[in-house]
Structure 1
Amino acid sequence: MHTKPHALTRTGAALALALAALGFTACTTTLPNQNATPAEQRAEINNAADSTLQRLYTAAPGSQELVDRAQGVLIFPEVISGGFIVGAEHGKGVLRVGGQNAGYYSTSAGSFGLQAGAQSRAIVILFMTQEALNDFRNSSGWTAGVDATVAVATVGANGRVDTSTIKEPVVAFALTNAGLMAGVSVEGSKIERIDL
């Protein structure tokens, strides 16, 4: 009877060590950017955002027309997630309105489930209506799925963006190096404006 709590304590300690190690790994992935000046960080985000949009247009035919119709486009070129059982993700991005940079933002979220190692994905969020964009810009901290329902765009059988998601006021795309991610959710992602 007395060995079970001891074994659980050892298991808990091992899990804590694994979490700490993976958390450190995820943090070191983003450390080089922390030493950059604000101007360098803005330039890096802007260049990566341009590349992300080009990847999106290639991976999801029809997405460029959707982006062009959006009132605002929020681009997170690299959202890094890491952890084991309990995970966290973080990234920086830019909001573009009328093709112009309109502010810089950070996204963060926690998750629960079997996962290991650091992974990276790009997230593009489209505000299809002026009201949705205004609600986002006027918030002091906007959470996907709480402050607005976010429809994750999918590619239909014809290989083009599924137009049924276009009816939603907020639409998101998630990309990896392999292409568009299917069955992914951005709900729970907290987005806040940052000074850069």
Structure 2
Amino acid sequence: MLQTRRRILLVLTGLGGGLMLMSAPALAASARDIDAETNKALDLLYSTQPRARNLASRATAILVFPKIIKAGLIIGGQSGDGALRVNGTTVGYYNISAASFGLQAGGQRFSYALFFMNEAALQYLQKSNGWAIGSGPSVVVLDKGAAADLTSTTLTHDVYAIPFGEHGLMAGIGLEGSKITQIHPGP
């Protein structure tokens, strides 16, 4: 009986995850929607973490994912679309996605801003056919306290990531294992 319940749970979880991944293109936002959400997300980031604006002024580019949805029940996944900004202008659109397996349950929505601090890191993103976080440029995730302590002498990494706007109940919002791929949304 216990084995049967486990199998049913695994099948239902797998089907739910598969349906979520299959329906992602149908839910894809337009470029206009992504840009509008990116503007709102940056406003939120700068109002809740004022030092992030200083980091942005030193960055070569900023990749903002305004809404990443993460959900899981043993098998989990996360996905979201974002805009790459250079000098305040969108130059490309990207999707971040990841899958996971393990002891997990819940759902969460959050935002991420990736600050590319040099041209080499930006070119790696733009020229790679999908960037798996953990390979390529070094990424340092900053919390509110760490972002406040950044100065021009401590900015030594290729990419800084700041999570913000978290809502929901699920442990962890790490980037490790996530893949960032360029997308081409409609207008």
TM-score of Structure 1 vs Structure 2, range by shorter chain? 0.7 to 0.9
> Which of residues 3, 7, 10 is equivalent to 1:8?
3
Once the two structures are superposed, residues 84-105 of structure 1 have per-residue CA deviations (whole angstroms, 9 ceiling, x without a partner) of 1221111111111121111111
Aligned partner letter, 1:167: T
Report if the CA contact (8 A) 1:22-1:117 is conserved. no
Question: Unpaired segments of 5 or more residues in structure 2?
Answer: none
Cα distance in 2 between the residues matched to 1:128 and 1:95: 13
Aligned partner letter, 1:170: V
Q: Is structure 2 residue 184 aligned with structure 1 residue 189?
A: no
More strand by share: 2
SS at match of 1:156: helix
Corresponding residue for residue 3 of structure 1: none
Q: Shift of the alpha carbon at 1:43?
A: 0.8
Cα distance in 2 between the residues matched to 1:30 and 1:134: 27
Once the two structures are superposed, residues 14-72 of structure 1 have per-residue CA deviations (whole angstroms, 9 ceiling, x without a partner) of 23224434665x569968844x6xxxx11110010011111111221210010121101
Cα distance in 1 between the residues matched to 2:121 and 2:16: 39
Identity %, equivalent residues:
36
Once the two structures are superposed, residues 130-152 of structure 1 have per-residue CA deviations (whole angstroms, 9 ceiling, x without a partner) of 11111111111111111222100
Corresponding residue for residue 172 of structure 1: 161
Q: Which 4+ runs in 1 deviate beyond 6 A?
A: 27-32
Q: Is structure 2 residue 143 aligned with structure 1 residue 163?
A: no
Cα distance in 2 between the residues matched to 1:28 and 1:120: 19
Cα distance in 2 between the residues matched to 1:189 and 1:10: 31
Corresponding residue for residue 78 of structure 1: 67
> Which of residues 114, 117, 120 is equivalent to 2:106?
117
Cα distance in 2 between the residues matched to 1:183 and 1:21: 21
> Which of residues 7, 30, 34 is equivalent to 1:45?
34
